[in-house]
A = this chain, B = another copy of it.
Amino acid sequence: MISIAVVGYGYWGPNLVRNIAEVPGARLAAVCDLNVERLKPVSLRYPDVAITANFDELLRDHSIDAVAIATPVSSHFRLAMAALKAGKHVFVEKPIASSAEEAERLVEEAARRGLVLAVDHTFVHTGAVKKMRELVDSGLGEMYYYDSVRVNLGLFQHDVSVIWDLAVHDLSIMDYVLQTRPVAVSATGVSHVPGEPENIAYLTLHFPCNLIAHIHVNWLAPVKVRRTLIGGSRKMIVYDDLEPSEKIKVYDKGITLKDGGADKGSEVYKALVGYRTGDMWAPHLDVTEALNTELREFVECIEHTQTPTADGQAGLRVVRILEAATMSLAQRGRPIDLEPARQVA
């Protein structure tokens, strides 16, 4: 039985609490929040669970094996590092930290101590995203592009730009689905509120091959859109997360290229690109709550000393891109190289 304490009981914390309480092999040991008033419903619902405003107390409690952190991003590093140093396994909200340097230090610390470090890239545990990974692995052919739009009205953040708030989802999904690392990023965007971070942004990710990825995020859109297009040489995917059921549609569409000795520009040459249109198919998706699947995996990783799907390295890769995109954004899209993912652990 793995004992887990939840730190931070704001927007996401209650979901962690509810799911940890249900995961087999896990025990919800304690819930911590600076504002202890917020924790009253926890006591009512789970009378046996300790509540506290004192994080250090949790660290000193040897019966607690792991800590799940759902506090503001700026505190992730400090809390996760303290937990690792106290010998606790760590599950932390995305993004894993505020900078690549912080993320690297967490990865190193966890590796040194042989502790599980998981980042809550929730989407990679949804039925839709797992199905996309499966399709990329087996049926899409050569990867051509990944294009995602994630826009709506609100909520404006004050400490981070829309990239750190929304694009982080797409970057974590992309990292998992494509399994290829980008080499450069170009980002553009602006803020429409004086003195505040960018509320609209566009990211292009360049890859070593002729794959391209693009993300459009916006807090100031009149309609809500959550739509990703993935193009492969054999099949293409539309992933619409707002669809109540058919979230993933697979199109047997594409181009066919024929060899030909014809001169470029000639009529014969033009016939070399053909268009292929076949069936569309919407596979049935697993509808298990992603957070539940994810926490089960976290518990199993602790029990069997395994690496979670979204480990510290995944968290680090995403933060590296966020950081580079932020630099590019300040320079109107100048491309920023992503240093080769040097082994930090």
Q: How far is the CB of A244 from chain B (nearest CB, A)?
A: 7
Does A206 sit at the interface, judged by CB under 8 A?
yes
Residues of B within 8 A of A147 (CB): 216, 218
**Nearest B residue (CB) for A276:** B153
**Which of A5-13, A58-66, A173-181, A277-285 lies at the binding interface?**
A277-285
Residues of B within 8 A of A195 (CB): 264
B210 contacts A192, CB within 8 Å?
yes
Q: How far is the CB of A178 from chain B (nearest CB, A)?
A: 15
Interface residue ranges of A231-255 to B (CB < 8 Å): 231, 233, 236-238, 242, 244-246, 249, 251-255
Interface class of chain A by DSSP:
strand
Q: How far is the CB of A161 from chain B (nearest CB, A)?
A: 13
A223 contacts B210, CB within 8 Å?
no
Given A202-B204, A210-B192, A332-B335 in contact, is the A264-B158 Cβ separation under 8 Å? yes
Does A265 sit at the interface, judged by CB under 8 A?
yes
Given A202-B204, A279-B281 in contact, is the A255-B220 Cβ separation under 8 Å? yes
A193 contacts B333, CB within 8 Å?
no
Does A38 sit at the interface, judged by CB under 8 A?
no
Does A156 sit at the interface, judged by CB under 8 A?
yes
Residues of B within 8 A of A224 (CB): 244
Chain A residues touching B, range: 35 or more
**Nearest B residue (CB) for A242:** B244
**Nearest B residue (CB) for A246:** B280
A332 contacts B253, CB within 8 Å?
no
Does A172 sit at the interface, judged by CB under 8 A?
no
Q: How far is the CB of A203 from chain B (nearest CB, A)?
A: 9
**Nearest B residue (CB) for A45:** B44
A206 contacts B222, CB within 8 Å?
no
Residues of B within 8 A of A284 (CB): 252, 277-279
The 22 sampled A-B contact pairs (Cβ below 8 Å) are A145-B200, A145-B218, A147-B218, A158-B265, A158-B269, A158-B270, A159-B265, A184-B332, A186-B333, A188-B206, A190-B212, A200-B212, A214-B216, A222-B237, A222-B238, A223-B229, A224-B244, A245-B277, A279-B284, A332-B335, A333-B335, A334-B334
Other A-B contacts than A154-B275, A193-B255, A200-B212, 4 sampled, CB-CB below 8 A, are A222-B238, A223-B238, A223-B251, A331-B335
